[in-house]
Amino acid sequence: MAAKKSKTPAKKAKTPAKAKAKSPKKKAAAKAVAKKKAHAKAAAKAKAPAAKARKAKPAKAKAQPTAANGETGDGSLTRSFEPYKIKKGEEYMNEDQRDHFRNILNNWKLQLMQEVDRTVTHMRDEATNYPDPSDRASQEEEFSLELKTRDRERRLIKKIDSTLEMISLDDYGFCESCGIEIGIRRLEARPTATQCIDCKTLDEIKERQTLG
């Protein structure tokens, strides 16, 4: 009797047809996502310079504080002039020397007055109502500094006027404390000085001791 043949057909190996069908779709989706990300990055880079340009503001020159002795914050004088050439045997504070200091003081006063006018013009032109609170605060701080500087300069102008009056009365160039000569070079460094260097130093020491 012949052996019965197996009716069960040999199982065929499953082909990953479905997997193969899905693979191109996943790739297309991944490519689409990558393109979107690339477009988003490009748009962000394009916006960044424009945003920086809007925020960027031109640097404004701040007014340099001027001390009551006519020196700016960095210690340099606010005026320039030719130093007086002292002649051998000439009298102290003669007419030539008085004219020398009169010219220094008048030129200095003119410069200070021009600075005051320039500040008024600048504040009028730059008076902008910024919508950003930080911008408004920066503008107010700048204007406050300029006003303080100009206020010191106005007081200095008054001091220059009183010094010019001393020159006209022939009282200029002598220490108000001890009566000795203040000196040409000290007066050129500080034309409104009313004390010699020794008396001024003693007053500063006493002031420090009192405050300390």
Instruction: Kindly calculate the radius of gyration of the chain based on its CA atoms and give it in whole angstroms.
Output: 41
CA–CA separation, 159 vs 56, rounded Å? 42
The reported pLDDT for the residue numbered 39 is 65
**What confidence tens digit (pLDDT) does each residue in 85-134 have?**
999 999 999 999 999 999 999 999 999 988 888 877 777 777 667 777 78
Global pTM reads 0.58
CA–CA separation, 5 vs 8, rounded Å? 9
| 3-state per-residue secondary structure call for 101-164 | HHHHHHHHHHHHHHHHHHHHHHHHHCCCCCCCHHHHHHHHHHHHHHHHHHHHHHHHHHHHHHHH
Which of the four pLDDT bands, split at 50, 70 and 90, describes residue 56? very low
Which of the four pLDDT bands, split at 50, 70 and 90, describes residue 211? confident
Which of the four pLDDT bands, split at 50, 70 and 90, describes residue 61? very low
pLDDT above 50 (res 148): yes
**What confidence tens digit (pLDDT) does each residue in 70-87 have?**
444 333 344 578 999 999
**What confidence tens digit (pLDDT) does each residue in 4-37 have?**
444 554 544 454 444 444 456 656 666 666 666 6
